[in-house]
Structures are given as C-alpha cells and as structure tokens.
Amino acid sequence: MNITGNTILVTGGGSGIGRGLAEAFQKLGNRVIVAGRRQQALEETTAANPGMASLVLDIEDPSNIRSFAANLAAQHPALNILINNAGIMRAENLQAQPDDLADAEATITTNLLGPIRLTAALLPLLQKQPQSAIINVSSGLAFVPLAPTPTYSATKAALHSYTQSLRYQLRNSTTEVLELIPPYVATDLMNGASDPRAMPLDKFITEAMEILKTQPAGGEICVANVRPLRFAAESGHYESVFLGLNKAMESAH
C-alpha cells in the first residue's frame, strides 16, 4: 500500500497502539480519523495532533457501527484505509467463571465481531477507491495463547484466520489486506505500560512503519520481537515457547 496521501480510519485510536499508528500516519502526510468509545481520549489525541479528526464509535453495538459507517462516508468520502485496532484484554479464571461470562462475551464482541462488522460496513466505500487497504491488528498471542487471557488469545487467532480469508477473497480487487501482529507492547492494555518486559510503544511503531514502507511479506507486519511467537509452530518450538511464555507470566505474579 502507499503510505502517504491516504484517508485513514484508526479504531481504538485514542490511546496505545492505535494512537501511535494514527500519529505516525499523519506525519507521513495522511488524513487521519481516530475512533473509539472514550470521547475524552479522542479529544486529547486530536488536540495533540492538529488536523486529526475523531468520531465516537461503540464497536460493541451493531447499529452504532452501521450509523457510524454512514456518517464516516458522508464526512470522509475519500476514506481508503481501515485499521481495525480497537480491542480489550481481560484475565479470566476458567475454573471459577461467573454465570454471565460478561468478560468473555465482551472480548469476542469487541475484538472479533467488531472488526468483522466494521469491515462489512465500510468495504463498499473502500472498494470505490482506486486503491484501498484493510489492516487488522491481531497479536502474537494469536499464535501462542497466553493462558490467563484465553478469550483474548482466541479472538486474535480467529481474527488472523478471518484476515487470511478476507485477503484471498479480495485478491483480485483494489483492496489490499494486511495483518499487523504486535508483540507485548507497553500500553495500558493489561497494565503493560509499566512492565519492563514490554516492547516500548515508540520502538514498535517505528519498526512496524518501516516494514510497511518496504511492503510486508505475505501481508503480515511482524516486528522482530513477535517472530518467536508468530513462527513458533513453523519452527518446531511451539511447546517450549508456549510453556516459556506462560511460566514467565506466572512468575511475574
């Protein structure tokens, strides 16, 4: 994809990886719109980045997604890149679950149904453009799950699978489909911002943007830190990587 001259929507753009991507793309000469549930976070982001636009989006609400897409198309008819970044991550004890399974269901609705619904709502607009792209943000945990966050890991594995199918179905269209696969990054997701083991956000964004500039292999944007997880099965080290990841997390708590 071209990395400049675009009109880009970033969901979950008010903080963390979403905000980092939004700011990096704006600096490259793109028109950027950030979307999310928290009006205050969006306002802080746009105030710090003059020229950036924002729209409130409840990614859990199907009707809100549809009205949001119609509003977005009216305000930004040149939209040609969708970055599905919004996500939540919650720890779950599978041996002591509440009856309503609210955390698991919210995670599935936000992390998986949200991107699927928003992609469906915006694909007609994207396909009208001479060139367009969809970037789905998955996780290294799509390939090696973190046991304390089972539903999060499962939604990211499902998003990876969905992205592969979407890429194949759109292979003869003008819409490119990419997958950004973050490692453990220092953001507010699961309190990673203060964890010295997490990759600094600015370093992740810089490396990811460099890969985008040089065109990612196979449509996947994998920084060096995430490659051991992404290719654990292919390398023949899946079991040791899985145990190492989860034992390290246990020892940290």
Decide if 151 contacts 103 (C-beta within 8 A): yes
- In the block, which residue shows the tokens 């939209």? 79
- AA letter at 117: R
Decide if 173 contacts 130 (C-beta within 8 A): no
Q: Which long-range contacts (CB under 8 A, 24 or more apart) does 168-173 make?
A: 173/127
Distance CA 170, CA 49 (A): 33
> 57: Cβ–Cβ under 8 A, 6 or more apart, which residues?
11, 35, 36, 37, 64, 65, 68, 86
Catalytic-role residue among 152, 162, 184, 238: 152
What is the secondary structure of 214-252 as a DSSP string?
A: T--GGGEEE-GGGHHHHTHHHHT-HHHHHHHHHHHHHHH
Active-site residue 184, yes or no?
no
Cite the active site residues. Answer: 152
